[in-house]
Amino acid sequence: MNAKQRRRADFFSSDLNGDTMSELIKKMNKALGLELRAINLYAHYAAYVKGLHRLQLEPMFQQEATESMVHAATIRNAIVKHGGICVTERDDMEIKHTNNYRDMLQGALETEEKAAETYGDLLKMLDDISDRELYDAVEQIYLAELRSVEEIRMLLE
């Protein structure tokens, strides 16, 4: 193996023991379940938001659903890359059916806060492995979740 191949192998290898890798995959699956839930939540709310609020909130909910699909794909690929099995069920936190835009925003805020917390925890775990690509990807997702939290908070004021 030449130096370039060794660097590439080091970049994609994990320094974790089996138990730690299992915990990492478990946390990534938690994030994946939250993203699958967010896709459903935002698609549902985009369909049901009514009145003048629909003008702003329907596109925002659609954009959040799309963003969650991208996040889910990123995490799903990371789970597979590290030898895990991906969940196919969404997080079991209830999605409240409502026509009230404030209730929708509150549900979205709770979803984004839980996702941000999960990605923050995941970032701490990723400090222990040499997969910088995954760390950077999760960091970008974490920052996107924090931006969503702030945006929704402002809409609720």
Tell me the CATH number at 29: 1.20.1260.10
- Tens digit of each residue's pLDDT (9 = 90 or more) over 16-44: 567 888 999 999 999 999 999 999 999 99
Q: Is residue 16 part of a domain?
A: no
Q: Is residue 7 part of a domain?
A: no
- Report the domain count for the chain: 1
DSSP letter string, 135-154: HHHHHHHHHHHHHHHHHHHH
Flag the least confident range among 26-35, 84-93, 101-110, 126-135.
126-135
On whether the CB atoms of residues 65 and 39 are closer than 8 A, the answer is yes
pTM of the model as a whole = 0.86
Residue numbers of the domain that contains 31 = 21-156
DSSP class of residue 79? H
Per-residue pLDDT band for 94 (boundaries 50, 70, 90) equals very high
Q: Is residue 150 part of a domain?
A: yes
Query: Residue 14 has what pLDDT?
Result: 46
